[in-house]
Amino acid sequence: MEKNLTHIALFAALIAVLGLVPKIDLIGGVPITAQSMGIMLCGTVLGAKRGALAVLLFLALVAIGLPLLSGGRGGLGVFAGPSVGYLIGFPIAAFVAGLIVERWTTAIGVSAFAGAVVGGIVVLYAFGIPGMAFVMQKSMPEAAAMALPFLPGDLIKSVLAALITQGIARMRPEALLSRA
């Protein structure tokens, strides 16, 4: 019981810290924040249930007024803004990513990449795009076009999340709860 609680709490803190890290420069100097990678890692490392709970705990702290979203955003306002769909999708993305790693017991790097792409991109965009369409009153294709520029960065983050999960599987095999 204590172990579940502390893992959920520590990974909620990890998502926050990955959003506070100023930026990670990709090839070509494109700055991206690592926060959505934190969402992916919650699922691929902690598994579906604990991963989703860690993300929910993180969102609860954002909602009650801590500026933990990347760029120092937070408070209730972010839930009324154009990103609301992504925020709603965060815990579900982590859940799906975790579920794929738990169920598809192939090489950890492969299933973690699949989990990160399906959870962190497909599922997340499936919530994020309708959210933007609703708040900005655009059609779905228009909102999808606005989300498109983020796709390459998110694909790179999926690769990194898979590599990191694989690294954890080597460094701390007993701590990889998604495969426990």
Partner 1 sequence: MLTLTSEVQIWAHRLPAGVKLAVLAVATTALFRLHGPLPLAAAFGAVAVVSATGGPRFAGQSARILRPLWPFVLMVGLWHLFTRDIAGGAEVILRMTTAVAAANFVTMTTRLADMQRVLEWLCRPLAALGLPPARLALALALVIRFIPVLQDRAGQISAAWSARSARRAGWRTVAPLTAAALDDAAHVADALRARGGSV
What are the residues binding partner 1 (CB under 8 A)?
A: 1-3, 5-14, 16-18, 20-21, 24-25, 34, 37, 41, 45, 57-58, 60-61, 63-68, 71, 73-82, 135-138, 142, 146, 160, 163-164, 167-168, 171-172, 175
For tokens 């859940």, what's the residue?
95
Least separation, in Å, of the C-beta of 154 and partner 1? 14
Residue where the block lists tokens 């990449």: 113
Which residue lies nearer to partner 1 by CB, 50 or 118?
50
- Closest to partner 1 by CB, 19 vs 89, is 19
CB of 101 to partner 1, least distance (A): 14
Q: What six digits make up the tokens of 82? A: 């154009």
Asked if 41 and 11 touch (Cβ cutoff 8 Å), the reply is yes
Nearer to partner 1, 5 or 110 (CB): 5
For the bound state, the minimum distance from the C-beta of residue 119 to partner 1, rounded and expressed in Å, comes to 17
- Are the C-beta atoms of 101 and 63 separated by less than 8 Å? no
Cβ-defined contacts of 135-140 (< 8 Å, 24+): 135/80, 135/81, 135/82, 135/84, 136/82
**Alpha-carbon distance 76 to 63, whole Å?**
5
- Our CB check for partner 1 shows the closer of 121 and 133 to be 133
The smaller minimum CB distance to partner 1, of residues 20 and 88, is found at 20
User: What does the radius of gyration of the chain's CA atoms come to, in whole angstroms?
Assistant: 15
CB of 38 to partner 1, least distance (A): 9
Q: How near is the Cβ of 96 to partner 1 at its closest, in Å? A: 19
Task: Please give the Cα distance from 33 to 46 (Å, whole number).
Answer: 21
